[in-house]
Chains A and B, each alone.
Chain A
């Protein structure tokens, strides 16, 4: 199967702090990949090195066989991104933010339909700053899907969502994945990772300490429950 995201021994340091240390991974088309780890383990830095918003000190990255720094403009026609912290203009409304995003792509998705699908269809006239945390999070997932991407990067995708909304998001993402979308996500919710991800990588202080499927993680750690397995493998301890 075609490798959509290919990362080879990427390293990134901030001064003396080694944020990402020799991380390699590969994501195949139509699969979901989960990057896990405690706060500060290097997940966001890894994503930013993959997207080219941060320059890796060492190693190579290719997404859809393109170099994210050199081929930025053609790559991001086909890639959707939701950052953990997403900036928006102070007075902007939902419809304006969607419109402003959609106009940048050659063949964007219908953003009104996406807003309906994610349960914020009645909020399009609302200022983004007046949305609740969960609504705003869903809006940013909508923005990441507006490009009709081949691969989507979602950094902490369901943070701030209630249980029902999370299930709804999972269902939509699974359908999109069945339609061929490749998903790269980070999450702190192990039930979510178990429900969505085909492969995972656990980072600890910038190093990959586990790489494989959820089943393999359980097997390797000897834990029945995936959250226990994650805690054991990531060295955080179960207590």
Chain B
């Protein structure tokens, strides 16, 4: 446990020193929130809706950070550590691959959590956004979104040949998901045909689930979004641990 804590503390410090994730996973979602806030303020989501546009968008805003950490940060750091032979140095110590992956994984969970808290605070204070559903359901959907997205990233970092191919794969996953899953462009404004296509992204499912939970709309306990995300989490993290390469 002490080893885990020390590694986590050090790796988090290094990660913050690097600043990339602070910008893309914490500041960027806030900027988007502020822009939406000035555009829509406390306007209702649609004529006659009893929740505001911002309340409807909170799930999507949370996903920006999850997307940055899971599809950019995590795969790149794992691939870079392999290429720089940092993993090889760990290979001749008693540390287990699962612990190293868990430390890196948790770092991006922390970024997502910080982003979630700042978004709720700012939107709540400035535009009166508040949760209309249950905290438990919202927290559960958030966690499932984080776990499924990060496990994709962990798998990419694990199987990519080098940092360069990891970054290509990361871009191919990151930008379409960021733009089309509803994280930046609201899902609701897209044409219906497009909504159908992008429903295959686990992040789209996660955002819809968080939205329903936040707004207090009915969440099916074993609906399609939950099943898709659970399957993605189990498959990807299984592959990541099974195919882990030190070099």
Chain B associates with chain A? yes
Residues of B in contact with A, size category: 20 to 34
Q: Which residue of B lies closest to A81 (CB)?
A: B92
B17 cross-chain contacts in A, Cβ below 8 A: 91
B246 contacts the other chain (CB 8 A): yes
**Complex alpha-carbon distance, A87 and B79, angstroms:** 13
For the residues of A in contact with B, the DSSP-based class is loop
B85 contacts the other chain (CB 8 A): yes
Residue-wise, chain A 67-80 has the 8 Å CB interface mask toward B (1 for contact) of: 00000111011010
Segment 88-128 of B: residues with Cβ below 8 Å from A: 88-89, 91-96
Q: Which of A53, A77, A86, A91 contacts B247 (CB 8 A)?
A: A53
B3 contacts the other chain (CB 8 A): yes
Q: Which of B3, B81, B87, B89 contacts A103 (CB 8 A)?
A: B3
B93 cross-chain contacts in A, Cβ below 8 A: 76, 101, 104-105, 147
Q: Is the CB of A76 within 8 A of B94?
A: yes
Known: A89-B14, A96-B13, A100-B6. A105 touches B88 (CB 8 A): no
Q: Which residue of A lies closest to B93 (CB)?
A: A104
Q: Is the CB of B18 within 8 A of A96?
A: no
Residues of A in contact with B, size category: 20 to 34
**Complex alpha-carbon distance, A99 and B94, angstroms:** 15
The number of A-B residue pairs with CB atoms under 8 Å apart is 66
Q: Is the CB of B2 within 8 A of A86?
A: no
A79 cross-chain contacts in B, Cβ below 8 A: 92
Q: Is the CB of B92 within 8 A of A104?
A: no
**Complex alpha-carbon distance, A100 and B93, angstroms:** 11
Q: Is the CB of B92 within 8 A of A103?
A: no
Residue-wise, chain B 9-29 has the 8 Å CB interface mask toward A (1 for contact) of: 011011001100000000000
Question: Can you sample 26 A-B contacts with CB below 8 Å?
Answer: A53-B91, A53-B246, A73-B94, A73-B96, A74-B94, A76-B92, A76-B94, A83-B85, A87-B86, A88-B84, A88-B86, A88-B89, A89-B81, A89-B86, A90-B18, A91-B17, A92-B10, A96-B13, A96-B14, A100-B6, A101-B93, A103-B6, A103-B7, A104-B93, A105-B93, A105-B94
Q: B residues touching A (Cβ–Cβ < 8 Å)?
A: 2-3, 6-7, 10-11, 13-14, 17-18, 81, 84-89, 91-96, 246-247
Q: A residues touching B (Cβ–Cβ < 8 Å)?
A: 51, 53, 72-74, 76-77, 79, 81, 83, 85-92, 96, 99-101, 103-105, 147
Q: Give me 18 other A-B pairs in contact (C-beta within 8 A), A87-B85, A89-B86 excluded.
A: A53-B88, A53-B91, A72-B94, A73-B94, A73-B96, A74-B94, A76-B93, A76-B94, A79-B92, A87-B86, A87-B87, A90-B18, A91-B17, A92-B10, A92-B14, A100-B10, A103-B2, A147-B93
